[in-house]
Amino acid sequence: MALLPRLRRFAAGLARDPADGDDLCQATVIRALEKRDLWQPGTRLDSWMYRMMRNIWIDESRARTRRGETFVAEEAGLSVGGGGGQEEAVTLSVIERGLGTLPDEQREAVLLVMVEGYSYKEAAEIVGCPVGTLNSRLVRGRDALMAWLGDGV
C-alpha cells in the first residue's frame, strides 16, 4: 500500500494522462498480486513493480499502435452526439506537458531519477539498460525539458 502513490505518479507520467495512469497502476497491482509467488523476498519490491508496470505499458502501447492501424482514430468519434465545443475536464500542469513532449526513453529516465528519486543504477535495472545509456537518456531528457520550459510555454 505504501508504494501506491509512487506507482500512480510513475504510471501517470508514462501514460501522459492521469486516468490512463490509474488504469496502468491498477493493471500492475493486479498482475503483481497474480504473480506474487515470483517475487523473491529480500529483493526490492518497488523495483519489481516498476519493471512490471513498464512492461505492461510497453505491451499496451504496442497494442494501441496496432489498433490505430486497424480502426478509425478515437478523435473521429469525440463530437458524435455532442454539441461541440466540449472542454477538457483535466488541465495538465506545465511540467506534465513538458514531460509529454519527451521521447518515451527520456521520459522514463526523468521520471525514475528526478521524480521518483531512484539512483542511476536502480533506474537502469528497472528499464533494463546499462547505466551509461540511462545517464545519456536522462541528460538529453532533462536538457530538452529545460529548453521546453525556457521557451516560455
Among candidate residues 53, 60, 74, 75, the one with its CA nearest the CA of residue 126: 53
Span 1-12, pLDDT tens digits = 888 888 888 888
**Measured between alpha carbons, how far is 153 from 150 in angstroms, rounded to an integer?**
7
- In the chain, the percentage of residues whose pLDDT exceeds 90 is 20
Among candidate residues 151, 141, 15, the one with its CA nearest the CA of residue 94: 151
From residue 104, alpha-carbon distances to 14, 15, 144 in Å are: 8, 10, 13
Q: In this predicted structure, what is the pLDDT of residue 75?
A: 53
- pLDDT higher at 41 or 152: 41
Span 106-133, pLDDT tens digits = 999 988 888 888 888 989 998 999 999 9
Q: In this predicted structure, what is the pLDDT of residue 67?
A: 53
Among candidate residues 106, 77, 72, 97, the one with its CA nearest the CA of residue 18: 97
Q: What residues does each domain of the chain span?
A: 1-71, 93-153
- pLDDT higher at 84 or 142: 142
Domain 93-153 adopts which CATH fold? Arc Repressor Mutant, subunit A (1.10.10)
Confidence of residue 141 (pLDDT cuts 50, 70, 90): very high
- pLDDT higher at 89 or 13: 13
- pLDDT higher at 26 or 60: 26
**Measured between alpha carbons, how far is 57 from 55 in angstroms, rounded to an integer?**
5
Span 57-110, pLDDT tens digits = 888 877 776 555 444 445 544 444 444 433 332 323 677 788 888 998 999 998
In SS3 terms, the chain reads as CCCHHHHHHHHHHHHCCHHHHHHHHHHHHHHHHHCHHHCCCCCCHHHHHHHHHHHHHHHHHHHHHHHHHHCCCHHHHCCCCCCCCCCCCCCCCHHHHHHHCCCHHHHHHHHHHHHCCCCHHHHHHHHCCCHHHHHHHHHHHHHHHHHHHHCCC
- C-alpha grid cell, residue 84: 461541440
Q: Which CATH architecture has domain 1-71?
A: Orthogonal Bundle (1.10)
